Amino acid sequence: MGKIGTQPGAEAKHKEVDIGFMSIFIDSANINEAKTALGLGWVQGITTNPLLLAQADMEPSAFFTELRKFCDGPIFYQLTSNTFESSIAEAHRVLELLEKQLVVKLPPTELGFKLCSELSSRIPCCPTAIYSPAQALVARESGAQYLAVYVNRATRLMGDGLKLVEDIAAVLEESQTQLLAASLKSTDEATLAFSAGAHHLTLPYSTVKEMSNHPLSDEAIKQFNESGRGLDQT
Ligand code: E4P
């Protein structure tokens, strides 16, 4: 199992979070969804964004405090401040709250990439809403540990989100920046994004629930249960 943590030379302030080489996260700020998904055993962390947090029925700080009672993996939080100084202050506030689990999401703007360069030696950073290989190169050069490509939105707005994943995976080769496929809306889109080169996937709750099911599997299992025999059966 690969180990993904802070950038080389990172200070001990932010300890490594061990996640698998490929990870599936849930994209949600709903505490019940998060609990169910993280309880499945194969969902390793959670991504949030300001819109998801605005729709939640809990205050963000209460949500994150509750979340940490059952989530041991990475927790992605997107900064919302508009200046360099206030963003650094916000990053430190959220670091207090989430400690080693924090991954800071940043907008892919001049300010966002400058913040990424500043913070990435101490806190894993994830420029988000990435739509071009050029932005991916800048993220790589800014020391980002992840970058979030908006796959479904790119398909809707630009034509081919999966090709975008492929192109971005190519510019990230042999770098420490990992491609997180986001804005995924179906199980097929999720698996195709992985095949196109994504290292990690973040999925809405509905897709998390669908990932392990198939009607033909249900049919096969029904038959085993109805007509089969094992050690426990007489
Ligand atoms: C990822 O971290 C984002 O929260 C998310 O996937 C955004 O995409 P959407 O708003 O299209 O679902």
Confidence (pTM): 0.90
180 C-alpha vs ligand 1 centroid, how far in Å?
11
Domain housing 162: 10-227
**Could you tell me the distance, in angstroms and rounded to a whole number, from the CA of residue 163 to the centre of ligand 1?**
18
Quick check: is 138 in a domain?
yes
Range name among 19-23, 153-157, 197-201 with the lowest pLDDT average: 19-23
pLDDT at 4: 36
- 198 belongs to a structural domain: yes
Alpha carbon of 13 to ligand 1 centroid (Å):
29
Q: Each residue of 117-140: pLDDT tens digit?
A: 999 999 999 999 999 999 999 999
Mutation test residue for ligand 1: of 49, 105, 185, the one with most atoms within 8 Å of CB: 49
The answer to whether residue 234 is domain-embedded is: no
- pLDDT score, position 234: 55
Residue 182 CB–ligand 1 contact under 6 Å: yes
Looking at residue 82, which CATH number applies to its domain? Answer: 3.20.20.70
204 within some domain: yes
pLDDT for 233 equals 58
HEC letters along the chain: CCCCCCCCCCCCCCCCCCCCCCEEEEECCCHHHHHHHHCCCCCCEEECCHHHHHHCCCCHHHHHHHHCCCCCCCEEEECCCCCHHHHHHHHHHHHHHHHHHEEEEECCCHHHHHHHHHHCCCCCEEECCECCHHHHHHHHHCCCCEEEEEHHHHHHHHCCHHHHHHHHHHHHCCCCCEEEEECCCCHHHHHHHHHCCCCEEEECHHHHHHHCCCHHHHHHHHHHHHHCCCCCCC
pLDDT of residue 154: 98
Mean pLDDT of 17-24: 70
- CA quadruple 23, 24, 29, 34: dihedral sign: negative
Domain presence at residue 5: no
Structure confidence at residue 78 (pLDDT): 98
- The protein residue whose alpha carbon is closest to atom 1 in ligand 1 is 182
- With beta carbons less than 8 A apart as the criterion, state whether 151 and 176 touch: no
Listed range (12-26, 57-71, 156-170, 205-219) with the worst mean pLDDT: 12-26
Mean local confidence (pLDDT), 148-167: 98
Residue 5 pLDDT: 37
- Is 155 inside a domain boundary? yes
Q: Is residue 136 part of a domain?
A: yes
The domain tally of the chain equals 1
Residue 126's SS3 state is strand
Averaged pLDDT, 100-107: 98
The answer to whether the beta carbons of residues 118 and 139 sit under 8 Å apart is: no
What does pLDDT average to over the chain?
92
> Which positions ≥6 away from 151 have C-beta within 8 Å?
161, 162, 164, 165, 181, 182, 183, 184, 189, 193
pLDDT of residue 153: 98
41, part of any domain: yes
